[in-house]
Amino acid sequence: MISTLLVANRGEIACRVFRTCRERGIRTVAVHSDADENALHTRVADASVRLPGAAPADTYLRGDLIVKAALAAGADAVHPGYGFLSENAGFARAVQDAGLVWIGPPPDAIEAMASKTRAKRLMGIRPRTEVTEITEADLPVLVKAAAGGGGRGMRVVRRLADLDAELAAARAEAAAAFGDGEVFVEPYVENGRHVEVQILADTHGTVWTLGTRDCSLQRRHQKVIEEAPAPSLADGLERELHALAVRAARAVDYVGAGTVEFLVADGKANFLEMNTRLQVEHPVTEAVFGLDLVAEQIRVAEGHALEAGPPHARGHAIEARLYAEDPSRDWSPQTGRLHRFSVPEPVRLDTGYTDGDTIGVHYDPMLAKVVAHAPTRAEALRKLASALERAAIHGPVTNRALLVRSLRHPEFLAARMDTGFYDRHLPELTEPSPDPHAPLAAALAQAVGRSRFGGWRNLPSQPQTRRYLMGGEEHEARYHHTRQGLEADGVRVVHAAPHLVVLELDGAQRRFEVSRYGDQVYVNTTALTALPRFPDPATQHAPGSLLAPMPGTVVRVADGLTAGTPVKAGDPLLWLEAMKMQHKITAPATGTLSELCVIPGQQVDPGALLAVVTET
């Protein structure tokens, strides 16, 4: 029986595993980098051990340090979570060699399936590792990292001239994220569905298939919305998917929880890979089958046998990944203080953050997973969209609005989605739309600003004005102090206090919660930024200036790029690495590079000047 368990991971998954451990009476140990010293997963664990440094290569990818930490803390088991070392056979062996229980499949099974190229050969598929074989007739192709997942080390190539550069970028990203730069190339299917099968196997020869999941809504080949069961699958196709998943598990004598992934196109199942770990999206399967997969992982590791068959599936579950990122700006990750974070019940929230935490630059920008379960798909969609819409998220920009619009999009509602969903619909999903509170929000913000002191005048005066940035657009609030109180743009302020405002419009009164953090104002879920009356000269930049969209490290500058180099609009100039992803910075116009302000290896803050292009 396991008594103390260390999670070799961080953030949301560490907190999620600790929750099951507490329910089962198991003591918990966290490991943390210097950047995570005060992270939520370190605060909720019974004990924590420092891994010196901040970069994953120095901390969460150091298996030797993690094994040493487990022994020092008195742990008798290690759970790898997902990502980092979760699919590293060498780490699994090191854990077992130290006399610790490994909460995962046998190292040999990990080794057989951790490399996508080996996994494909095991399933009778020949991967293309010789990129010199690629011709124009093969395009488009997908460059893919052999190790790891999460969309890192993946690039779509549509022009043969881009192949070498994309291969280099994919290798660099894969090496940084997984410590393995091997890549391969496969045909890119434009409009397939990403469908997967959850498996669970014990040491007594029983293998469960726990239904299907659809994970087709993806950005940068990383999943955004997942659901179980995968809707609109033909019975014959679903049986085939289950049979192939069992075949993959038995081929490597699998034990524990795992996932077999497929690309479904034209009614056919194409094997992609097997993930020898718990998936990010496992909560939707838990909701449908009434299981705790982490508890089952622990039971299997302790030698318990599964029942002859899994429980019956009930209802439908949908999960949305809430990211600190701006979808309208090429999904750029966001950092900063998360002042308030609250999602209303009755949905499940798996997160590694709470009020007051800081979202840093070193790790994945996912804030949380929000999961809704209901008797039908339509009810689950409505419940999840409503919960996200009403969530209080005060801090960096998130993809919350994109998630709500995606869940309500006619194509998704009709279950006609595929992996090209965001390629087709991103502009319409990110364009500014009328906010239901927009006519009131500026009045609200001004009401709170004026609530603590009087401003009534005996004589009529011109309206006073304040400017706010809301939804990427500038709004001007005009307000009067009258005998009846404060009025703004025809809206009467009935009550104004620092955190509550009551407004009257056309005879109807509405109540609003208001929060202020410096020049940031949140009115219910509407965010406003108070603008200064006069622009700060220090923030002005020359036309054509390229500013860092996020904090990060300059990892590469385009070959031969110096001041005076002619450039074309869209040409890549340099690459920033932030949150384990590389982000390409391109020329905003055709012209001449008049200034290059950074060098490889340089750390930059958001808004830092990277380069200046003078347009011709």
CA–CA separation, 276 vs 177, rounded Å? Answer: 17
Joined tokens for residue 519: 């020049």
Residue type, 140: P
* DSSP 8-state symbol, 311: P
The answer to whether the CB of 510 falls within 8 A of the CB of 502 is: yes
Question: In this structure, what are the phi and psi dihedrals at residue 329, rounded to the nearest 5 degrees?
Answer: -120, 55
Residue 371 structure tokens = 């999961």
Contact 394, 520 (CB under 8 A): yes
- Are 131 and 185 in contact by the 8 Å Cβ rule? The answer is yes
- DSSP run (H or E) holding 487: strand 485-488
| Distance in angstroms (rounded) separating the CA atoms of residues 341 and 224 | 19
Residue 546, strand partner residues: 611
* Residue whose C-alpha is closest to residue 256's, from 222, 228, 314, 298: 298
Count of beta carbons in the 10 Å neighbourhood of residue 477: 23
CB 332 within 8 A of CB 361: no
Whole-angstrom CA distances from 206 to 295, 302, 307 are 17, 15, 8
Q: 456-464 — which CB contacts under 8 Å span 24+ positions?
A: 456/481, 456/482, 456/483, 457/481
| Contact predicate 196/279, CB 8 Å | yes
3-state secondary structure of 407: helix
3-state secondary structure of 40: helix
Active site includes 277? yes
Tokens of residue 260, six digits: 């077999």
Q: From CA 540, how far away is CA 159, in angstroms rounded?
A: 38
Q: At what angle do helices 89-97 and 63-73 cross, to 10 degrees?
A: 30
Beta-carbon count within 10 A of 340 CB: 16
For residues 354 and 339, give the distance between their C-alpha atoms in angstroms, rounded to a whole number.
8
Measured CA distances, 85 to 44, 219, 273, 301, 315 (Å): 22, 23, 17, 18, 34
Distance of CA 455 to the CA centre of its chain: 46
Choosing from 277, 348, 405, 492, the catalytic residue is: 277
Residue pair 29/51 in contact (Cβ under 8 Å)? The answer is no
* β 27-32/4-7 pair status: parallel
C-alpha distances in Å from residue 517, one per residue of 223, 396, 453 = 32, 12, 19
Contact present, 503 and 440 (Cβ < 8 Å)? yes
C-alpha triplet 394, 430, 522: angle, nearest 5°: 20
By annotation, the residues acting in catalysis are 277
